[in-house]
Chain A
Amino acid sequence: MIAAGVITTPRTRGRALSIEGEGETAGRSWFRSIGDGELDRAYRLAGLLLGDAGEAEDAAQDALARAWHQRNSLRSLDSAQAWFDRILVNICRDRLRRRRTVRWIPISGAEASTAADPFAAAIARDAMLRHVAVLDPDHRIVVVLRFWADLPLEAIADRLAIPLGTVKSRLHYALRELRGQIERSGEVR
């Protein structure tokens, strides 16, 4: 006779088992081994997506915190880059989408301008990057992952958790939008 009326729904801190006394999971190993190169890459990826150094810093911090919380979900060091990228890109995407409704107001007042913002400045100096910066968030993400991070389309699909076909179509529309912007801006190719 099966009598379970209410199913126990435990919530645990991650699923990976650890051997008593030596609980080194892939996630923890990755955190221990993470170097400045990875952190710079994360910060720059966030900066290119968000176009703002302060936001990039917050996003990278948030991504590290979220990755730490989910560290037991990383099953192998081989996939650490993709795993962390996915977390970071999701955070950036959330921030980009939130901008539609919530503006950040600097408390310190008018002196907080973009002049001191290294990402905003770097983007402003390059016409192409200025065009990229005004793409729709989803389009901007695929463009940055493809042409800055130099990721294959399959890797982008994995990071964004979307089908390969969707990556292709987003890239297609992003390039079309960029071409339109270039033409409208009257740039000579």
Chain B
Amino acid sequence: MSAGDPTDQSDRELEDRLRSSFASTRLPIAPATIRSRPSELVASERTVAGPGRSRAPWLAAAAAVLAIGLVGSVLLVGSRQPSKAPPSGDSTSPSNATASAGLTDALFAPGQATSGDGWRLIAGGVGLRREPTGPVAPRIELFSGAGLVKPREMLDIPSGAPSIDDASEALLVMDLLVGSGPGCGQVRFDGVTFDQALHTLTARYTQPAGGSGPSGSPAGCQLLGVPAALAVAIARTQFVPGEWTLELQRSESATTWTTIATASIGAPTMPVPLSEATVADGAGSFPKGGLWATRQTLLSLSTDGGRSWASITMPVAATPFVLDPGHIWIASAGPGSSQEMGSSTDVLHLVVDRTADGGRTWQRATVEGDFAGTTPVLAFADAQHGYLLAAGLRFGNGSRVFRTNDGGVTWHEVLSTVEKLGSIFGLGPDGSLWAGTEGDAGPVERPVLDVSRDGGKTWVDARLPGLEGSRTAVNTVVGPPAFFGDDGAVGVTTPGGDGCCALSTFVTADRGRTWSRAGSSQAGVGSSPALAFVARGRWIMSGPRPDTMRVTDDGGATWRTMAATGLAGQPLAWLGFADPNAGAGLVYLGDTPAPEGLVVTSDGGASWTRASIEP
């Protein structure tokens, strides 16, 4: 019998039984939290970009729910503090530092300590997450150093719940199950004290009657392979930097307290405040220390590694190609275009706007024809010579390549094909053109990475080892190959691995004529990881945790993990470097979907501060 082509009687019977079992089983309907979600998401698009949203209610609600959920425990230690400016020296006022829907507001780098009787205190890495908008309950997620602790369900925020002022600082501590085996009890916290001067948090608990909290035998209470875990949810609107300590104290009489474990936890990181000025739509790097970022029609440029930025206004809100601060091109949909659905039944007229004087004046060229079902991408070698690739989308009719020799005034077609070149488009130092697959709904039917060495007329498979001949759209190229002289590197994500995707990196020493596999990683890689080829052999990518980066200096042979401060526990969506020290990133300003904020580093990714895109 051939696999999956069941012909014999018993297979058909089994299939019928399966169908009948599925058909006769009554399954629940989606709860309200899911039903309300699509409209919330559509609504969030309109609201997140707006300035000056209020932020206190969600925090207050979280506090109230916790307080109500843990009757009899002292849970809130609120101390009014004057608002502090973020450590970046940024002048944005706290009231403008809006906590957006879904913003993870905080947190500590994990720390841990072991007590004398074998219990381990794990603290930090704590986040408070709120699902967007409406009456949906805030949900607290606790990330202990050892894994995830599932949040207590918290529903129905009562009206008239006590509120916490924006400027106050509140600590929220939850009761936790310590371990899950037989004989394990719940640790009921009696209170938490918070000494800001000493940077100490003290969590106190009493021994539950008949229970076996941390003083009992830990043997049956394995939690994720460690004797016990303690997680403390801390939600505050402002943090002060410094080293923090968390003490776990025990009492059997409730009058005397013994410290059984002390964990030093990392300096709290500042949430990156979301403000109108921070949000970025896109970002990129260009030679000689250049970084750019856009927000709607604003294009901000930095030529000093992100220390200072100057904005110009683009004629359209679209992705620019920045050669240098003087020379910028933008391809976009021109007059007469219909709504662009990526379908060949659309009408898409392409225009290319250009400036040769740093945005003081813009000129527009129209590229003749209908480009329905394509995505336009640009690449320029110098101020005169460049290419426009109308990359073929899945439901389109094909791809076209144009060339300009006069800085974008006139465009000449060099290729029109029914094949679909990918939209990850770049130019090599020898004039080679590269087109890579972008996403699983993007270009298909071509190799993962295509190369043309005759100005776009013919394209061949770049033959990345292991991916030769692969024409599936699920392998995506992270960015066009980066070249440093004859050396180059490119990253590709493929399905599989324990996370969403595995990242494979490839290197060349002959300008991309032959490639070899540098390495692969399966740890925590999304389909579009933030990966930057900074210099020959030196690559940086975000992860594996939001507050760390991974760095290699030997072209991917060995990676080390480096702490990265200032990212507020939010992962990077994109990473680019203008030189080995100066870089920019787009950080998610909340759980996705969330706007992205521009952050910059001047020390190779170890510390980050936010940057603003302002007129």
- Cβ A90 vs Cβ B283 within 8 A: no
Interface status of A188 (Cβ within 8 A of chain B): no
Contact A107:B177 (CB < 8 A) given known A17-B318, A172-B3: yes
Q: Considering the complex, give the chain A residue whose CB is closest to the CB of B579.
A: A6
With an 8 Å Cβ cutoff, the count of chain B residues facing the other chain is 116
- Taking residues whose C-beta sits less than 8 angstroms from the other chain, chain A's interface range is 35 or more
Q: Considering the complex, give the chain A residue whose CB is closest to the CB of B530.
A: A11
Cβ 8 A contact of A102, one of B148, B287, B393: B148
Cβ 8 A contact of A69, one of B19, B186, B593: B593
- Cβ B152 vs Cβ A168 within 8 A: no
Query: CA A175 – CA B37 in complex, angstroms?
Result: 36
Contact A12:B34 (CB < 8 A) given known A128-B17, A129-B25: no
What residues of A have a CB within 8 angstroms of the CB of B500 in the complex?
90, 94
Cβ 8 A contact of B342, one of A16, A64, A102, A106: A16
Interface status of A171 (Cβ within 8 A of chain B): yes
What residues of A have a CB within 8 angstroms of the CB of B153 in the complex?
54, 108
Query: CA A20 – CA B281 in complex, angstroms?
Result: 15
- Cβ B586 vs Cβ A11 within 8 A: yes
- Cβ B321 vs Cβ A2 within 8 A: no
Query: Smallest Cβ distance from A55 to chain B, in angstroms?
Result: 9
Contact A10:B180 (CB < 8 A) given known A2-B431, A102-B224, A148-B22: no
Query: Smallest Cβ distance from A119 to chain B, in angstroms?
Result: 7
Interface status of B472 (Cβ within 8 A of chain A): yes
What residues of B have a CB within 8 angstroms of the CB of A128 in the complex?
17-18, 21
Task: Find the residue from B5, B441, B574 having the highest chain A CB count within 10 A.
Answer: B441
Could you mark each residue 93-135 of chain A with 1 if its beta carbon is under 8 Å from any beta carbon of chain B, else 0? 0100110001111111110000000110011011111001000
Q: Considering the complex, give the chain B residue whose CB is closest to the CB of A130.
A: B21
Query: CA A175 – CA B318 in complex, angstroms?
Result: 51
What residues of B have a CB within 8 angstroms of the CB of A136 in the complex?
none
What residues of A have a CB within 8 angstroms of the CB of B341 in the complex?
16, 25-26, 75-77
Could you mark each residue 1-35 of chain A with 1 if its beta carbon is under 8 Å from any beta carbon of chain B, else 0? 11111111111110111111010111010011010
Interface status of B169 (Cβ within 8 A of chain A): no
Cβ 8 A contact of B333, one of A6, A19, A168, A175: A19
Interface status of B77 (Cβ within 8 A of chain A): no
The 10 closest A-B pairs by CB, nearest first: A168-B4, A75-B342, A11-B574, A10-B284, A9-B479, A43-B30, A128-B21, A172-B3, A2-B381, A12-B282
Interface residues of B (CB under 8 A from A): 2-6, 10-11, 13-15, 17-19, 21-22, 24-31, 33-35, 37-38, 41-42, 45, 131, 142, 147-153, 174-177, 180, 186, 223-224, 281-287, 316-322, 332-333, 337-343, 348, 375-376, 379-382, 385, 393-395, 423, 426-431, 438-442, 472, 474, 479-484, 495, 498-500, 532, 573-574, 576, 578, 586, 591-593, 596
Q: Can you offer 7 A-B residue contacts whose CB atoms are under 8 A?
A: A15-B438, A25-B339, A40-B30, A106-B177, A147-B22, A175-B11, A175-B14
